[in-house]
Amino acid sequence: MKEVAGNPLQLKSINHISLVCRSVEESIDFYTNVLGFVPIRRPGSFDFDGAWLFNFGIGIHLLQSENPENMPKKSEINPKDNHISFQCESMGTVEKKLKEMEIVYKRQRVEEGGIYVDQLFFHDPDGFMIEICNCDNLPVIPIAGECEMVRSCSRGVNLDIITPQKQIQTFVQM
């Protein structure tokens, strides 16, 4: 396998994900009222139904399915399925709100070296998996080679980054 250095495409960040929906209106309701996204303007030149939402530094582009009745329906919550993950302030608050909204979810706990990460998985109206976690509990540790910069999505987290040559302790503050 050819070794790839750093950032060959000079990427800056994730901009958005696109999701095909049975009903754009139902998905807008879910992403705004459950996850806190805000509708934003999308280009008027588009000749198909959809909506753009934004929050947490990422956009979600909802696209109306041309054949909504043929879209597969997922009912089993499988944490190994494709998903997007959001970090939260309080797992207890999230779980309480999901119960109040009668959203079916699956709870999971991961342990790594005495560090625990709690995860809640649930589906959007079209079966796309959503994860809410406190994943920022885990340090970001490169697998091999030097790391020029490692960022955490949380505020003020101590990261112990271990590289083959040295140990770096970084404090990331947003």
d(CA 5, CA 95): 41
* Residue 126 one-letter amino acid: D
d(CA 148, CA 90): 31
Residues 35, 48, 13, 80: is their CA dihedral positive or negative?
positive
DSSP-based helix, strand, coil % in the chain, nearest 5: 15, 35, 50
Q: Can you tell me which residue has the tokens 């998985």?
A: 121
Q: How many CA atoms lie within 13 A of 74 on its CB side?
A: 18
Active-site residue, from 3, 95, 102, 131 = 131
Residues in the chain, how many? Answer: 174
- State yes or no: is 69 an active-site residue: no
Residue 14 phi, psi (nearest 5): -80, 135
The CA–CA distances, whole Å, from 17 to 1, 6, 58, 81, 150 equal 28, 23, 8, 16, 23
Residues that are catalytic: 131
